[in-house]
Structure 1
């Protein structure tokens, strides 16, 4: 990307700042930038623009070096922001999941993955373990800031790992332990945006593979596809089942997922996280197939004649665990839904259907991809005579 004039650089900062402020991500950014901005300064920053201006003053961001902007999008997984920026700056680099960050340490990136994996219930448990009385943190990021300040979270994570194990927060612990393949020490940091050294993941390792690929849609076609699928799902599908399907993607906070009651708003979360775009509709197409909504195909073809159809779709974007959960949901009857709810101390009146049950089991880490957790759950329901349900969880 060419060096920007001062005016265009300010416009870029405005677009970037508005995005993170509107998505209420300032505390997330304060966690991310702790190694670039002094802790005292961070405490007084009130908006994203203040944060960017401090980076400019310290020469970490400039009109000729936008690397830290690109890396921020990569690490926070706000990939849709790239397209927003490209509306004004077409030469802004393409950023995709799996790119290498060169500006943030492995430790910092792990904390970001950790924060994204935490549910509000997780935050309350950690708060209760470390604070008497509880501080009642506003969100995961506020908690991480406080625990770093009080040296409960630090480079040596051994003690903190043990705390998470004691609370049985396996998903959050796994996110914190996940290896970060490339760090600044390996790549160096002295390069400018025209020579970004990002590289994509090796073929075969992505979370979303490219087995089903339509030609890139126009903005109108893409919005029409979202509208058709959303309307169809609202009339013939189950929005709670859709929440279970889309819970595959941990980049979407559980709390945000739980708040949505319309298919369209759930698909907008996919769009905002960069999981679907005009050039990649794999996830939405596979979701239609998994959710048994193939009847929408003729409707899609009315507005997108080039739509290749659903017959040959391969499920590559969703894990075997996710598909097992869907099979599990299909065999749970009303009485067994309530029995499972009572077994695991879930508030049964709030479990409107089996999909609400599964969503809560996942949210509370009672049923997860972890083999030990899953087996304990399977054993429990088998002990209570729910053989078909147990078998469904081992379909794939």
Structure 2
């Protein structure tokens, strides 16, 4: 009877994990991650759903009800920490080991994790540039990496040659992904404490307008889209196939460039709830806000070019200094503990 319960819990766990990953990440990311675990290259490439990959891993003996290390490492490597709460909700009999997210990786090599970092570092323009260089037509970073690995253009024994090519193409973030100190790479994949601040877009003092409310022509499309897709705000989910509106991707990507997440949005004076686990990223966000770069970036997305200067003359971003300093202090204290 006990065995039957365990089998049912494992079956439920597989279903929850499969549905989560199918919804939130590109399956090609998992194919890159599992390349060393699935020896059948053809089957790996043909898999269309996460459950296909899970069943392969079970058949190879890498995943079982009594050995879930690969699952834990997968969650860390893909940074899908929200899956923990989903599993707790749908499979209440399942319990995560204590402090599992701070444990060392046992299922993926440093080289494999660097390739994940590489995939996360490439933007669409980078993918186009590399595809053109290697005569391919890749739509995303993961299919690009899979193809270049298959052709042995990317390989552990000669990764320096590929890195030099990235340097010649001036893909600096990609170079960092492959050359950064491994301890920093591993730290990136841990579940880290996040702190947030509010970034408010409001009228400047002395403006000729008495109303603090944003110009509907500028902000209504953004507010409508952000409200509709707010459940996908987390940076780990922005590439979800369910998000397709260019404006939403553009705005969320702006904050991602500052290593920050858009967690929520409030109407009225537009208020972005921004969070990050990196104190340097938070300091950078404060700097781009203080310098006026942030409001200029937002204006470039939301306002027609001929009206941008008028917008900048009246509008600014605001971050409460006390809130910022408190968040920064907590992040630095957390960093000292790790």
Pair 1:80-2:82 in alignment? yes
1:69 is displaced (CA, Å) by: 0.7
Q: Does the 8 A contact of 1:74 with 1:96 survive in 2? A: no
| Aligned equivalent of 1:109 | 113
**RMSD (Å) for aligned C-alpha atoms:** 4.9
1:5 aligns to what SS in structure 2?
helix
TM normalised by structure 2 equals 0.62
Q: Distance in 2 between matches of 1:96 and 1:125?
A: 38
| Pair 352,252 (structure 1): closer, same or farther in 2 beyond 3 Å | farther
| Aligned equivalent of 1:319 | 282
| Pair 86,181 (structure 1): closer, same or farther in 2 beyond 3 Å | same
- Which of 42, 47, 50 does residue 49 from structure 2 map onto? 47
Q: Does the 8 A contact of 2:12 with 2:91 survive in 1? A: no
| Aligned equivalent of 1:158 | 160
Q: Does the 8 A contact of 1:208 with 1:316 survive in 2? A: no
| Aligned equivalent of 1:168 | 170
Q: Does the 8 A contact of 2:63 with 2:70 survive in 1? A: yes
Q: Does the 8 A contact of 1:164 with 1:173 survive in 2? A: yes
| Aligned equivalent of 2:313 | none
1:26 is displaced (CA, Å) by: 1.0
TM normalised by structure 1 equals 0.53
| Aligned equivalent of 1:362 | none
- Structure with the largest fraction of strand: 2
1:103 is displaced (CA, Å) by: 0.6
Q: Does the 8 A contact of 2:214 with 2:270 survive in 1? A: no
Q: Number of aligned pairs?
A: 263
Q: Distance in 2 between matches of 1:183 and 1:123?
A: 22
| Aligned equivalent of 2:183 | 181
Structure 2 unaligned regions, length at least 5: 203-212, 227-233, 310-338
| Pair 351,252 (structure 1): closer, same or farther in 2 beyond 3 Å | farther
Pair 1:7-2:8 in alignment? yes
Q: Distance in 2 between matches of 1:175 and 1:258?
A: 27
2:34 aligns to what SS in structure 1?
helix
1:182 is displaced (CA, Å) by: 9.9
1:10 is displaced (CA, Å) by: 1.0
| Pair 126,98 (structure 1): closer, same or farther in 2 beyond 3 Å | farther
Q: Does the 8 A contact of 2:24 with 2:240 survive in 1? A: no
| Aligned equivalent of 2:73 | 71
Q: Deviations over 1:209-262 (max 9, x none)?
A: 56x89xxxxxxxxxxxx9xx99x9xx659669xx9xxxxx97565898994646
| Pair 182,175 (structure 1): closer, same or farther in 2 beyond 3 Å | closer
Q: Distance in 1 between matches of 2:6 and 2:239?
A: 41
Q: Does the 8 A contact of 1:120 with 1:139 survive in 2? A: yes
1:128 is displaced (CA, Å) by: 1.2
1:113 is displaced (CA, Å) by: 1.0
| Aligned equivalent of 1:92 | 95
Q: Distance in 1 between matches of 2:169 and 2:6?
A: 52
Pair 1:29-2:33 in alignment? no
Q: Distance in 2 between matches of 1:87 and 1:251?
A: 20
1:165 aligns to what SS in structure 2?
helix
Q: Deviations over 1:373-396 (max 9, x none)?
A: xxxxxxxxxxxxxxxxxxxxxxxx
Structure 1 unaligned regions, length at least 5: 185-197, 214-225, 244-248, 277-282, 297-314, 339-347, 355-396
| Pair 262,250 (structure 1): closer, same or farther in 2 beyond 3 Å | closer
| Pair 351,97 (structure 1): closer, same or farther in 2 beyond 3 Å | farther
1:157 aligns to what SS in structure 2?
helix
Q: Does the 8 A contact of 1:209 with 1:316 survive in 2? A: no
